[in-house]
Amino acid sequence: MIKKSFNLLGPILIGLVCSYLLVIWSHNYLWKNNVNLYQNWIITDFFKWNFMIVSVVVSILVIGLSVLGFNVWWILITIVGSIGVFSYALSEKIKYTGEPFHPSDLFFLRDPIVFLQFSKLPFLLKWGGLIGIITFLFLGTFFAYKKWRNATARKNSLRFLLIVLLGVFFTFGSKEGYAYFVKNSNVKYIPWNYETSVERYGMYPAFLVTYVNSKREEPKVSNKVKNEVIKEINSLKPLSKPKQLPDILVIQSEAYSILDDMKLKWNTDPNAPLRSINEGIHGTLISNTFGGRTANEEFEVLTSLKLKRKFEDRTPYQEGKMGNRLSPSFIRDVRNFGMDTIALHPFKTSFFKRKEVYPNIGFNQFLSEADLSSCQKFGSYLSDECSSKKALSLINKKGSQFVFFVTMQNHFDWRKGHFPEENMRVSGVPMDEELKGKVESYASGIYKSGNSLVSVWQEIKKRKNPTIVLFYGDHRPTFGDKKATYEHWGAPVEKSEGEDWYNETPMWIWSNDKSTMDKIRNYSKPFLEKGNLKLESYEIAPLLMKVLTNGQIEHSWYDWVLENHSNDIWDWVIYDRVYGDGITFNKK
């Protein structure tokens, strides 16, 4: 029975060998061809994490090849076949998503999934290649079985050691194993796009969750409707340049939300700093995301495209053509007015492929964490206080400025002690100590973000140049099991049709210039509900454009956006502008 069990061990080990060699080979090949994949390897903070991963990989390779009695020719054929079939798909995946290399690329299951998802090979050739590789694995196992059967006790002991090592390796990939590792090893870097999935499913199933089928199908809209939409958009008129332009600072605050309307009780209101600002208009933003996908929120704000429904679970920046071609946007329009358009995001430029997308939608300049020095960090993320000072320095540049500032301070993961000073205390609802620590840490971050906003407000008040400040949270955070936690806290989740409490975040808009503030109040009236300002993300640009042009947006793209279009039309326009041929781009 024990000897027969090695029949299963063989294919697993050879599969690991093929997968690892493929990843190392293909990434090295692309790296030599000036594709920037290895930036994470040269950053000191990440060294221990990378070293641990590579050590595990190399150990499995060395021990596996030493212990198993596979015929060397079968091993070579299998490896060569794997490289030939998988490398093209992996290369396509890297170009397609724009993700940099990180050690999670070395994990088991990654490359078969990448192959199935991204390969453009014909169906029969793709699956034929997989079946061929599996056949070679089992044939190799068959020929090796005789050596296993007649092996010495010493070799069998080594094989049992190998089984134990594999068990440790796969345990690390489980939810509990991963959590234990992160908790006890002081790791500073966790692959960002797996955090939420890993917390729920473990490392390996997270790949299945994260890399879902990315096939993009064109929404089914009749040619008649398409032609009508194209005709409407082509008839839209360009906007006239305003005689005077205020400076504009838009602050998209990471995971900032209001912690009201629940049973939670606080020793100090986490949102007190924001509420202390008694000027301007406080309101509610209907975000298109919940718990993540920050780039989708800014996509709606900057393009005025309504993602909800068919494309709300997609990431246009990464999946579509926005990184490869110029796209119409609010940023491009204000740049045509003569404003200097600057994006500030205190993190890596590769995050959500912003480095490629931002120039194509009209930003003249993109500043990242590399452009901020001597900033305090909370975990891996720069403080709002420091990055806000940078935003103020940008808005104070000569000429008319438009600064789009995406913060990072309150990015997941929160835990007790994440911030040096955590004075928030929550009660009112029973919760375990780990969750309580997360919630109190998050609330402390929100309080700090509010203080940073107050500092920005006070500095802008001193300016002579008319300036508009727009602040909003990009999405509510998640704590463990997403919506169930909020329901346990007594969140008012039952709303009328079309409304979703989970998508509500706070927003605030203000100007230091009375005339400009009067315009904001006037043009905000259509967005008032029971006296309160309530905007969807895609409506932000039309509101700002009304303020800039003194309401002269008739027969323009922003006028068209505010019309009551069906979801089918929205889906098709988004598909065309992000994934399609761009026939709805109004060349005027």
Q: What is the pLDDT of residues 170-184, one digit of tens each?
A: 444 444 444 444 444
Which pLDDT band, with edges at 50, 70 and 90, does 24 fall under? Answer: very low
CA pair distance 97, 110, nearest whole angstrom:
14
Residue 296 tokens read as: 């989708």
| Burial of residue 48 (number of CB atoms within 10 Å: 0-12, 13-18, 19+) | middle
Measure the CA angle with vertex 301, ends 298 and 304; round to 5°.
Answer: 130
- Name the pTM for this structure: 0.67
Reported as half-sphere exposure (CB side, CA atoms, 13 A), residue 342 has a value of 23
Domains and CATH numbers, the chain: 2-210 (no CATH), 248-545 (3.40.720.10)
Mean pLDDT of 121-147: 61
pLDDT in tens, 221-280: 899 999 999 999 999 999 999 989 999 999 999 999 988 778 899 999 999 999 999 999
Nearest CA to 63 among 25, 18, 110, 13? 13
Task: Provide the pLDDT for residue 3.
Answer: 46
Amino acid identity of residue 293, one-letter, is R
Task: Provide the pLDDT for residue 248.
Answer: 97
pLDDT in tens, 153-165: 776 676 666 656 6
The one-character DSSP state at 538 is G
pLDDT in tens, 278-314: 999 999 999 988 877 788 899 999 999 988 655 666 7
- Which residues does 203 contact at the CB level (< 8 Å), separation at least 6? 104, 107, 172, 173, 174, 177, 178, 194
Mean pLDDT check: name the lowest of 192-196, 222-226, 470-474.
192-196
Rounded to the nearest integer, the mean pLDDT of the chain is: 75
Mean pLDDT of 345-355: 85
| Three-state SS annotation for 99-137 | CCCCHHHHCCCHHHHHHHHHCCCCHHHHHHHHHHHHHHH
Question: Do the Cβ atoms of 468 and 544 come closer than 8 Å?
Answer: yes
CA pair distance 140, 359, nearest whole angstrom:
51
Task: Provide the pLDDT for residue 74.
Answer: 54
| Three-state SS annotation for 131-173 | HHHHHHHHHHHHHHHHHHHCCCHHHHHHHHHHHHHHHHHHHHC
